[in-house]
């Protein structure tokens, strides 16, 4: 075989009327004689996920019973008592950092007392103190995802995306003199620039695949009930004719994944416009009433975006402070916010843990999809750093101590996984987040109120 170094461009796209579809990584994109390792440089994916209301394991009773953090440090930990037990199959990718505090979410002045729910989201990824204001002079910090997007987002069509599950501007009113933007977003491009989050899977889908040049064009296409794949048939045929067998199979699988996501969105839209009563009557027609279905759609959209290298950075807000959604599938009938105010009763703390476990139980679906998505000689999960946590600890008392925090993925080999790292009392959550930035090859000296970077590969308490 002659090595010509001719190859398909990584930025090649399939085009049709109102459609621009990026491609997954194919063997044909690697110049002949070029090692995969060279192609894979600087492609770690970052996903930052906030779940509100802390955890049952942040209470005194929860610490004693190991309802969040396991008893053992290091690698020999037992997840069975904890809310992390759904991650057992992925413990090799799991880094648990326990006992960290989010001090900048606390009240510093009398006027801030009671406002924890209205500033916490802005602190989670910035670890900065939000300015108390309802005006336009909002101020927090640059969020972890946006620090990475400044580096990794320069080589992708979309520098980063911000997604959410709950509605915005409806946290029971944005109170205690805090602007609603503090509650609405976890992603800040600068200390004065919170980024809006997208709730509707249809909007995310259209942004990823350039469906229709205008909202009117997109509406017409949906009315015709046609798939975006119908518009790129000729482009697919032209590309496939020059690919090897393995690449054709990979392309076909990727296109089918996109089509399946589109089918599910279309099904949701058909149901939501059928006239039947909705659980979420205020939600856009592309938003499923089912929490689980909504989360899975958002995860699937992230997977195809990573597969096609449209973006390498996502921020995902899976709930909203003071949400009283009921998660019946968790086994608890308590509304979320109400259940988090368990009055320190052991039975109610255990009931709240059911909700925590259910939320963590959404992650294996995402992890499996990432693991099954090829990424050069590896897979996307190996080359990802996924943060999941909360800026609140014990929501019953609105404190921000012993906040839940885990990391998933190997970050391209920089994280070992299968480790529980308990920290000393008073350790800022900013310390492990600074360690995450270092794992992403961003060598800054501080982040938020950090005191040092935490080594995410070593379990030590000093």
Q: What is the mean pLDDT of the chain?
A: 91
Co-location of 281 and 292 in the same domain: no
Distance between CA 131 and CA 179 in Å, rounded? 9
Model confidence pLDDT, tens digit, residues 386-414: 999 999 999 999 999 999 999 999 999 99
Residue 5 confidence (pLDDT): 40
CATH number of the domain enclosing 434: 3.40.720
Work out the widest C-alpha separation in the chain, in whole angstroms.
Answer: 75
Residue 461 confidence (pLDDT): 46
Per the domain annotation, does 98 fall within a domain?
Answer: yes
Contact indicator for 33, 5 with CB cutoff of 8 Å: yes
The last residue of one of the domains, among 255, 285, 315, is 285
Please, which pLDDT band fits residue 17 given cuts at 50, 70 and 90?
confident
Cα atoms found within 13 Å of the Cα of residue 13, Cβ hemisphere only = 17
Which position has the higher pLDDT, 43 or 222? 43
Per the domain annotation, does 450 fall within a domain?
Answer: no
Per the domain annotation, does 331 fall within a domain?
Answer: yes
Residue 96 confidence (pLDDT): 98
Co-location of 342 and 274 in the same domain: no
What's the token pair of residue 174? 């944005």
Co-location of 349 and 430 in the same domain: yes
Model confidence pLDDT, tens digit, residues 356-388: 999 999 999 999 999 999 998 899 999 999 999
Per the domain annotation, does 451 fall within a domain?
Answer: no
Mean pLDDT calculated for residue range 32-43? 53
Contact indicator for 352, 334 with CB cutoff of 8 Å: yes
pLDDT tops 70 at residue 105: yes
Co-location of 190 and 313 in the same domain: yes
Contact indicator for 432, 456 with CB cutoff of 8 Å: yes
Co-location of 55 and 30 in the same domain: no
Residue 224 confidence (pLDDT): 62
Co-location of 85 and 172 in the same domain: yes
Per the domain annotation, does 458 fall within a domain?
Answer: no
Contact indicator for 428, 449 with CB cutoff of 8 Å: yes
Model confidence pLDDT, tens digit, residues 287-336: 999 999 999 999 999 999 999 999 999 999 999 999 999 999 999 999 99
Identify the residue whose tokens are 């695949």. Answer: 209
Contact indicator for 97, 405 with CB cutoff of 8 Å: yes
Report the phi/psi class of residue 226: left, alpha or beta, with left for phi > 0 and alpha for psi in -120 to 50: beta
Domain residues for the domain of 256 are: 11-41+209-285
Model confidence pLDDT, tens digit, residues 185-200: 999 999 999 999 999 9
User: Burial code of 36-70, b = ≥16 C-beta within 10 A, e = fewer?
Assistant: eeeebeebbbbbbbbbbbbbbbbbebbbebbbbbb
The last residue of one of the domains, among 235, 266, 285, is 285
Distance between CA 440 and CA 442 in Å, rounded? 6
Contact indicator for 129, 435 with CB cutoff of 8 Å: no
Please, which pLDDT band fits residue 128 given cuts at 50, 70 and 90?
very high
Residue 329 confidence (pLDDT): 97
Co-location of 423 and 345 in the same domain: yes
pLDDT tops 80 at residue 32: no
Please, which pLDDT band fits residue 171 given cuts at 50, 70 and 90?
very low
Co-location of 260 and 141 in the same domain: no
pLDDT tops 70 at residue 215: no
Write 29-37 long-range contacts (CB < 8 A, 24+).
Answer: 31/5, 31/6, 31/7, 32/3, 32/4, 32/5, 32/6, 32/7, 33/3, 33/5, 34/5, 36/376, 36/377, 37/376, 37/377
What's the token pair of residue 150? 């400044």
Distance between CA 110 and CA 358 in Å, rounded? 36
Per the domain annotation, does 455 fall within a domain?
Answer: no
Per the domain annotation, does 449 fall within a domain?
Answer: no
Co-location of 372 and 401 in the same domain: yes
Co-location of 345 and 433 in the same domain: yes
C-alpha distances out from residue 382 to 122, 368, 377, 379, Å: 29, 11, 10, 6
Co-location of 154 and 141 in the same domain: yes
C-alpha distances out from residue 210 to 204, 213, 217, 310, Å: 10, 7, 11, 11
Per the domain annotation, does 359 fall within a domain?
Answer: yes
Which of 47, 56, 50 lies closest to 330, judged by CA?
56
The last residue of one of the domains, among 269, 285, 301, is 285
Report the phi/psi class of residue 347: left, alpha or beta, with left for phi > 0 and alpha for psi in -120 to 50: alpha
Co-location of 336 and 316 in the same domain: yes
pLDDT tops 50 at residue 2: no
Contact indicator for 425, 406 with CB cutoff of 8 Å: no
Q: What is the pTM of this model?
A: 0.94
SS3 percent helix, strand, coil of the chain, rounded to 5, is: 40, 15, 50
């Amino acid at each position: 075989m002659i090595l010509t170094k001719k190859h398909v461009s990584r930025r090649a796209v399939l085009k049709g009327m109102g459609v621009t579809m990026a491609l997954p990584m194919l063997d044909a994109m690697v110049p002949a004689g070029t090692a995969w390792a060279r192609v894979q440089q600087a492609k770690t994916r970052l996903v930052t996920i906030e779940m509100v209301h802390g955890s049952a394991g942040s209470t005194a009773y929860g610490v004693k019973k190991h309802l969040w953090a396991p008893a053992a440090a290091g690698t020999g930990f037992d997840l069975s008592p904890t809310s992390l037990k759904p991650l057992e199959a992925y413990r090799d990718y799991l880094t648990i950092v326990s006992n960290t505090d989010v001090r900048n979410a606390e009240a510093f002045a009398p006027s801030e007392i009671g406002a924890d729910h209205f500033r916490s989201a802005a602190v989670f990824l910035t670890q900065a103190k939000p300015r108390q204001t309802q005006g336009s002079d909002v101020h927090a910090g640059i969020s972890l995802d946006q620090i990475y997007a400044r580096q990794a987002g320069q080589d992708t069509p979309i520098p980063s995306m911000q997604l959410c599950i709950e509605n915005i501007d409806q946290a029971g009113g944005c109170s205690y003199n805090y602007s609603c933007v503090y509650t609405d977003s976890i992603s800040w491009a600068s200390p004065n620039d919170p980024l809006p989050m997208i709730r509707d899977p249809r909007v995310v889908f259209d942004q990823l695949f350039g469906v229709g040049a205008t909202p009117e064009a997109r509406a017409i296409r949906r009315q015709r009930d046609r798939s975006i794949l119908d518009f790129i048939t000729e482009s697919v045929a032209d590309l496939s004719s020059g690919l090897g067998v393995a690449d054709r199979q990979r392309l076909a699988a990727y296109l089918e994944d996109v089509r399946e996501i589109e089918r599910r969105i279309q099904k949701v839209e058909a149901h939501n416009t059928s006239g039947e009563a909705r659980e979420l009557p205020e939600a856009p027609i592309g938003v499923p009433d089912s929490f689980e279905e909504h989360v899975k759609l958002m995860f699937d959209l992230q997977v195809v975006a990573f597969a096609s290298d449209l973006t390498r950075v996502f921020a995902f807000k899976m709930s909203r402070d003071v949400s009283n959604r009921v998660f019946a599938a968790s086994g608890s009938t308590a509304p979320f916010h109400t259940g988090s105010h368990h009055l320190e009763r052991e039975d109610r703390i255990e009931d709240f843990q059911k909700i925590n476990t259910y939320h963590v139980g959404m992650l294996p679906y995402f992890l499996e999809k990432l693991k099954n998505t090829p990424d050069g000689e590896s897979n996307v999960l190996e080359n990802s750093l996924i943060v999941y946590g909360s800026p609140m600890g014990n929501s019953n008392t609105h404190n921000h101590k012993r906040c839940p925090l885990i990391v998933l993925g190997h970050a391209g080999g920089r994280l070992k996984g299968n480790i529980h790292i308990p920290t000393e009392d008073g350790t800022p959550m900013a310390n492990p987040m600074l360690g995450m930035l270092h794992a992403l090859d961003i060598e800054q000296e501080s982040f938020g109120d950090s005191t040092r970077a935490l080594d995410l590969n070593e379990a030590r308490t000093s």
